[in-house]
């Protein structure tokens, strides 16, 4: 199987799930997560038609992104999907177009300041830890609909982040537990969507994008309302 065969298969799967869920496949953006993959492999995905690429480490992106951008025939949008350490935040610029993994007020403030110094605005999503796993990054959102203290601090943080002058918050991102039962995974995605709906009305922050679903669970995420899925292994093969 080539990378372009894999992409075709993922796109067919997206179409099939959308047909079942009564959704339009045009609503779903496929982000190919190219971490640990070579420039040549990434270019294969771009030549096969993909325009959205994701990396989870700033330094790895700094190495590959300029090469891919120079050699790619069409324009590519780069998504940062992994945790960004504060001291590396400045290197997000000018490589990444979207930071999906804004997981603290501190990082948000820093990115806004850095964007302002560059006379630009940075598109960002808020990463929410809905599953409650200690190993996951994200603003605390476990059980947000049952626990008022979680909801209050989340609302406060999101309002402060949304007010930052040089960040344009466009959506929410989450990761489901890796090897949980389908019901538990579905619950995480449904919770993120409900959170988005409630934040949008109560905080008046438009959050059109819901980035959720990876190789193992993107079919569930689409059924639960994902507008963006982040797929690595199903496109590029297993990572070693």
Please give the Cα distance from 31 to 78 (Å, whole number): 9
- Total residue length of the chain: 240
Nearest partner of 214 among 33, 84, 56, 52, judged by Cα: 33
Using the rule CB under 6 A, which residue among 17, 124, 126, 231 binds ligand PLP? 231
Binders in 204-223 for ligand PLP, by CB under 6 A:
214-215
Please give the Cα distance from 78 to 45 (Å, whole number): 13
Please give the Cα distance from 91 to 143 (Å, whole number): 34
7 binds ligand PLP (CB under 6 A): no
Residue whose Cβ sits closest to ligand PLP: 232
Q: Are 167 and 108 in contact (CB under 8 A)?
A: yes
Binders in 51-90 for ligand PLP, by CB under 6 A:
56, 81-82
Three-state DSSP class for residue 173: strand
Binders in 165-204 for ligand PLP, by CB under 6 A:
175
| Contact string (CB under 6 A) for ligand PLP, positions 113-132, x = contact | --------------------
232 binds ligand PLP (CB under 6 A): yes
Nearer to ligand PLP, 116 or 177 (CB): 177
- Give the residues lining the site for ligand PLP (CB under 6 A): 33, 35, 56, 81-82, 175, 214-215, 230-233
């Amino acid at each position: 199987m080539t990378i372009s065969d894999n992409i075709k298969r993922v796109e067919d799967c997206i179409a099939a799930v959308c047909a079942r869920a009564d959704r339009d496949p045009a609503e779903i953006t496929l982000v190919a997560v190219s971490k640990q993959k070579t420039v040549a492999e990434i270019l294969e995905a771009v030549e096969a038609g993909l325009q959205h690429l994701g990396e989870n480490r700033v330094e790895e992106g700094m190495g590959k992104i300029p090469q891919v951008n120079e050699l790619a025939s069409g324009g590519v949008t780069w998504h940062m999907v992994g945790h960004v350490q504060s001291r590396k935040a400045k290197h997000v610029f000018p490589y990444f177009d979207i930071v999906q993994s804004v997981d603290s007020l501190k990082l948000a403030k820093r990115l806004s300041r850095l964007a302002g110094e560059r006379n630009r605005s940075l598109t960002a999503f808020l990463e929410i830890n809905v599953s409650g796993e200690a190993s996951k990054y994200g603003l605390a959102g476990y059980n947000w609909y049952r626990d008022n203290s979680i909801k209050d601090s989340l609302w406060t943080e999101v309002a402060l982040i949304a007010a930052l002058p040089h960040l344009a918050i466009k959506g929410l991102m989450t990761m489901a537990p890796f090897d949980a039962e389908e019901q538990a995974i579905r619950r995480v995605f449904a919770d993120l969507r409900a959170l988005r709906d409630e934040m949008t009305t109560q905080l008046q922050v438009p959050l059109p994008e819901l980035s959720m679903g990876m190789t193992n669970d993107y079919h569930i995420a689409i059924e639960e309302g994902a507008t963006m899925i982040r797929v690595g292994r199903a496109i590029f093969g297993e990572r070693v």
